[in-house]
Structure 1
């Protein structure tokens, strides 16, 4: 299972880097989204997921924090998802404005005729 998770993080990260290097703005936006998904998966995997552990404390027992998942990476990932959506929306608005001004969607600002 760890191999599949590491492989998916690697594929998302590699695909994101490859798309960020492309000359079109839409490909850059998709690449940044894939990179953020890879980072979110990596942070989420650092919180470890204990198999067979109870999700809540049983009545009358003392809880041992070593048996439960760390909630901080989960909170970080949820925050990163919200920030990622807002950043993607901002990039899309800037991309549409740039396309309207230059007539093309190249990252370097070249229009259709150049």
Structure 2
């Protein structure tokens, strides 16, 4: 049995809407985006798992079906639901704390991120000290063997 095209289109729409919401600067929209992505992936796992069948218990049959259901997909979805619940609780706590501190739900641009984004890509603006050029044929410090006292 092949998955229905309508179901796959709905999953694709849910994923694209979730990605769009995650890229917003509002914490509530980010949370809704994560939940949409999680639900879309859960539906995708169930669609890909195949058709429903008999319970995965030896000797049990339901409605005369010939195949046995795959319990791995159901276990993966159940685990994903629990993980999503934990992430949702964490993001809700972040949103609440952010609202307490700033009384705004929008995330502002960090000045340090803006400064890094404005830097040009050339090496002259690098704040680190430049390394001297190394000979590619010379062994690295870690590759050299320690000298024994008999060789000295």
What range is the shorter-chain TM-score in?
A: 0.7 to 0.9
Q: 1:7 aligns with which of 6, 9, 16?
A: 9
Under a length normalisation based on structure 2, what TM-score does the superposition of the two structures give? Answer: 0.60
Between structures 1 and 2, the one with greater helix share:
1
Under a length normalisation based on structure 1, what TM-score does the superposition of the two structures give? Answer: 0.78
Which stretches in structure 1 are left out of the alignment for 5+ residues? 60-65
Higher Cα radius of gyration = 2
Match of 1:62 in 2: none
Runs of 4+ in 1 over 6 A off after TM superposition: none
Q: Aligned pair 1:70/2:70, yes or no? A: yes
Deviations 1:57-96 (A, max 9, x none): 358xxxxxx8112110110001111111121011101110
Which stretches in structure 2 are left out of the alignment for 5+ residues? 111-152
Deviations 1:13-66 (A, max 9, x none): 01101111112110010001000001111111121114xx5446358xxxxxx8
- CA RMSD in angstroms comes to 2.2
Residue correspondences, number: 102
- The higher relative CO (CA closer than 8 Å, separation ≥ 6) is in 1
